[in-house]
Amino acid sequence: MKNYLTFTKKELVESSRTYKLLIMLTVFFIFGMMSPLTAKILPQILSQFMPEGITITLPEPSAIDSWGQFFKNISQMGLILMVIVFSGVLSTELSRGTLINILTKGLSRSTVILSKYTGMAVIWTTSLVLAFLVGWGYTAYLFPGSGIVNLLFSVFCLWLFGMFLLAVLLFASTLIKNNYGCMVITGAIVVVLTICNIVPVLKKINPYSLVVENVSLLTNITKVQDLVYSVLATGICIAALVAFSVLVFRKRQL
């Protein structure tokens, strides 16, 4: 346990020194701030670009529009950024030889995998919480008195899918040494899940459902119980991917 905590702390310190933490926090702060602002001023921007003589009537922006922008930004650009930032989770240290030195001194490979996943999870969670708090504050100020339901559960679903992507990225990094290869594998998994989501039977247990039903959860079109199996399946997949990462990394020749 001591080695695990020490190596996890080392991962967080290194992420700070290599600006990974700063990049994640800064970009997610911007997402949290810009989502309600974009929802507020978008109708005015669209009206300015309409041809002369043509008028359109747009509904008054609401908190739903703000959170819609929030989930769109995080589930697309935010997750892509996260994958890019952490794509070298193993390969960077292996190429430099720093990880080999640590392993030869007695640190277990299981500890390395678990610490790296924990470090990524802490940064992802902190970034998402920051974006949520900033977005919630601006939304409450710009759109007071909104009737939003299932907001925390919707954010939890987004967080859980991010944890799933980190597990996929970690597992991919134990298979190949190339950063780009890890991103390609992660992207390919997302494409497969997107296709599977078309099939109603698979949709009920598909992790991808957690990032496509966020806004419908807020309007209660999608019920919490509709995503229970997806949540459970995603949790199982995360545990399995981390376990497989440990097994593969133990046998990997450095």
Residue spans per domain, the chain: 2-251
Distance CA 184, CA 8 (A): 26
**Residue 93 region, left (φ>0) first, then alpha (ψ -120 to 50), else beta?**
alpha
pLDDT tens-digit map of 75-94: 999 999 999 999 888 877 77
Query: Which residue from 247, 79, 70, 78 is spatially nearest to 169, judged by alpha carbons?
Result: 79
Closest by Cα among 201, 202, 193, 113 to 161: 193
- Which residues of the chain fall below pLDDT 70? 42-59, 97, 145-146, 254
* List of residues 6+ apart from 73 with CB closer than 8 A: 31, 34, 35
To the question of pTM greater than 0.85 for the whole model, the response is yes
What pLDDT does residue 55 have? 57
Report d(CA 173, CA 63) in Å as an integer.
39
Cβ neighbours of residue 60 closer than 8 Å, sequence gap 6 or more: none
Which tokens belong to 94? Answer: 């292996």
Return the exposure string of 90-101: e unless at least 16 CB atoms fall within 10 Å of the residue's CB, then b: bbbbbeeeebee
pLDDT at 71: 94
Instruction: Report the run of H or E that residue 201 belongs to, with start and end.
Output: helix 200-203
Each residue of 94-109: pLDDT tens digit?
777 677 777 777 778 8
The pLDDT score that the predictor gives to residue 108 is 85
